[in-house]
């Protein structure tokens, strides 16, 4: 049954059970010790009282003063209180073991033998010490009656014995009081310790509970989000649960990287297929498109069209030219003829972007950490910068902010373009670099990021985007170790 419970219940419950068992065992041990101590206390009380009475009745016994002996025996029986330590009956026997006086004369008559009156009593030899034991003696008459025999000595000679019979039930009243006190103390300890034990158990089980909750969410939420919600301790000497959480945290990170890589590969394959398809379609369209534009040009040079036809031909020509521009955008080709990228090229891009009317109300932060020329073709890199900056300006809107940072490193050129406009919804992220994927309300045909992606791929770089409310950043990394003479190819025709 316990196996079906959660660890957040099992651990505190087990700790509470251990606490309860420990307290109960200690309580039973103390009560058992108190019970045994009660028997020893009863015997010690009898021996002590017997020695006092033996001294008090010695002289009266020599004088055969029965009443004085009886009064002496009655004195401890008349003491108020102390019922638990009071003897049940006190009897004095003479040198031959016959009754001399008793606190219960109706039972133990004078000159009678105790063993005859009460079969539980031992023989006269044991009572008088004739068996060779003239010291104080004690023995149990039955399970509840203790008999203590103290010799009465006069000048070293035994003249009788003082017999004290104690009843255990009388002592049990005192033992019951001790039991009540121990039980009350035990209950108070349990009421104090159990909440502490339960809290400690919950504290131990809480990390396991959080880890189990994260495990239950695997498959339903992205690993990156699960990893953010899992706290990890970094202090040295961590316990087993902390190390387990750390390893699980690392595993979620590896799983998130794997999923991101898989998504990137799927997106790259899809975009490569789209690139081949659009390039093929564009080349097929260019042939008849060029023929139609040539026919229109011939008609306008050699024909004599009326005004209506002329306006119609102009409309058709503008439409065909727009189609040609779109098709030309689909035929991205990184041409490497020309010089390497220089700081002046980057400054030209800034000038072109600032000349855009939409950039007039946008605050720009521009930083280019370049020293000398960069071994990258200037034309495609400028195209990447222009497309990303114009997209950022359009996304930021009036009174927005756009930042562009270029940093040259040992093996790569890093470009970062950020804006504070509306973030890109998650459902658009997978199709962001596909052609004609502009969101509603954007001007243009949605080819800017497509062109950037194709150029970056030809330059053997990588491009990614991180978007959250209030900030969207595109990051491009272009390696500097490429062999430009190998990369002179355009996209497949």
Sheet holding 99-102, edge to edge: 99-102, 89-94, 157-167, 145-154, 137-142
Task: Determine the Cα angle at 443 with ends 437 and 446, to 5°.
Answer: 25
Contact 79, 102 (CB under 8 A): no
The DSSP call for residue 441 is: T
Contacts of 145 (CB under 8 A, 6+ apart): 88, 120, 165, 166, 167, 168
Q: CA–CA distance from 450 to each of 112, 284, 447, 457 (Å)? A: 127, 20, 5, 11
- Give dist(CA 272, CA 263) in Å, integer: 14
Is 364 in a helix, a strand, or coil?
A: strand
Of 148, 175, 202, at which residue does a domain stop? 175
Within-domain flag for 138:
yes
Strand, coil or helix: 65? coil
CA distance 346 to 404: 11
Q: Find the Cα–Cα–Cα–Cα dihedral 229, 425, 419, 413, rounded to 10°.
A: 80
Contact assessment for residue 406 and residue 350, using Cβ atoms and an 8 Å cutoff: no
Residue 352 near residue 393, CB atoms below 8 Å:
no
User: Does residue 289 form part of some domain?
Assistant: no
Which pairs from 322-329 meet CB under 8 Å and 24+ separation?
A: 323/285, 323/289, 324/286, 324/289, 324/293, 326/445, 326/447, 327/282, 327/285, 327/286, 327/289, 328/282, 329/445, 329/447, 329/450, 329/451
Q: Mean pLDDT over all residues of the chain?
A: 78
- Percentage of residues of the chain with pLDDT beyond 70: 77
The answer to whether position 181 is within a domain reads: no
Indicate the residue among 175, 194, 226 that finishes a domain: 175
Q: Which two tokens stand for residue 238?
A: 């961590």
**Residue 90 neighbours by CB distance under 10 Å:** 28
Q: Tell me the pTM.
A: 0.43
pLDDT, tens digit, for every residue of 201-212? Answer: 777 767 777 777
Structural domain includes residue 349: yes
HSE of 163, CA atoms in CB hemisphere, 13 A: 34
Q: Is pLDDT above 80 for 477?
A: yes
| 333-383 pLDDT, tens digit each | 545 555 788 888 888 888 888 877 888 788 888 888 887 888 888 888 888
Q: Grade residue 440 by pLDDT with cuts at 50, 70 and 90.
A: very low
The count of domains in the chain is 2
Confidence of residue 484 (pLDDT cuts 50, 70, 90): very low
The model's pLDDT over 307-345, given as tens digits with 9 standing for 90+, comes to 777 777 777 777 777 676 666 655 555 455 557 888 888
- Asked if 232 and 246 touch (Cβ cutoff 8 Å), the reply is yes
Asked whether residue 455 is domain-assigned, the answer is: yes
Which CATH number is 401's domain given?
3.30.565.10
Last residue of a domain, one of 124, 153, 175: 175
Please report whether residue 208 resides in a domain: no
pLDDT for the residue numbered 478: 93
Quote the domain boundaries for residue 463.
333-479
CATH of residue 113's domain is 3.30.450.20
Is 24 part of any domain?
A: yes
Q: Report residue 201 as tokens.
A: 């158990």
């Amino acid at each position: 049954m316990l196996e079906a419970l959660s660890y957040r219940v099992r651990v505190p419950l087990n700790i509470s059970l251990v606490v309860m068992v420990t307290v109960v065992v200690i309580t039973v041990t103390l009560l058992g010790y108190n019970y045994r101590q009660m028997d020893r206390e009863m015997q010690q009380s009898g021996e002590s009282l017997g020695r006092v009475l033996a001294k008090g009745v010695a002289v009266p016994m020599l004088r055969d003063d029965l009443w004085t002996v009886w009064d002496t025996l009655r004195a401890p029986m008349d003491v108020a209180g102390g019922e638990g330590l009071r003897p049940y009956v006190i009897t004095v026997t003479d040198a031959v073991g016959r009754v001399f006086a008793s606190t219960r004369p109706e039972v133990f008559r004078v000159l009678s033998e105790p063993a005859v009156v009460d079969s539980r009593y031992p023989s006269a030899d044991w009572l008088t010490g004739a068996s060779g034991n003239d010291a104080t003696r004690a023995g149990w008459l039955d399970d509840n009656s203790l008999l203590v025999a103290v010799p009465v000595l006069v000048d070293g000679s035994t003249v009788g014995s003082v017999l004290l019979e104690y009843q255990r039930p009388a002592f049990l009243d005192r033992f019951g009081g001790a039991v009540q006190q121990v039980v009350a103390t035990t209950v108070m300890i349990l009421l104090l310790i159990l909440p502490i034990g339960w809290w400690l158990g919950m504290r131990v089980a809480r990390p396991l509970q959080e880890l189990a909750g994260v495990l239950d969410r695997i498959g339903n939420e992205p690993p990156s989000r699960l990893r953010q919600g899992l706290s990890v301790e970094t202090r040295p000497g961590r316990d087993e649960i902390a190390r387990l959480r750390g390893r699980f945290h690392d595993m979620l990170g590896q799983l998130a990287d794997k999923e991101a890589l898989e998504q990137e590969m799927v997106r790259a394959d899809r975009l490569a297929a789209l690139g081949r398809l659009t390039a093929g379609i564009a080349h097929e369209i260019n042939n008849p498109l060029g023929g139609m534009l040539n026919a229109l040009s011939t008609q306008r040079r050699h024909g004599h069209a009326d005004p209506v036809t002329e306006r119609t031909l102009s409309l058709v020509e503008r439409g065909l030219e727009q189609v040609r521009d779109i098709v030309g955008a689909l035929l991205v080709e990184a041409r490497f003829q020309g010089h390497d990228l220089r700081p002046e090229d980057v400054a030209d891009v800034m000038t072109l972007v600032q000349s855009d009317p939409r950039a007039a109300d946008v605050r720009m932060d521009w930083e280019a950490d370049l020293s000398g020329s960069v071994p990258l073709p200037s034309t495609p890199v400028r195209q990447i910068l222009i497309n990303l900056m114009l997209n950022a300006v359009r996304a930021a809107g009036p009174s927005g902010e756009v930042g562009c940072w270029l940093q040259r490193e040992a093996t790569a050129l890093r470009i970062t373009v950020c804006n504070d406009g509306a973030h890109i919804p998650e459902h658009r992220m997978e199709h962001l670099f596909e052609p004609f994927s502009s969101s509603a309300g954007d001007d243009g045909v949605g080819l800017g990021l497509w062109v950037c992606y194709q150029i970056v791929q030809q330059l053997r770089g990588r491009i990614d985007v991180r978007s959250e409310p209030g900030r969207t950043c595109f990051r491009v990394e272009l390696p500097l170790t490429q062999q430009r003479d190998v990369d002179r190819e355009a996209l497949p025709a």
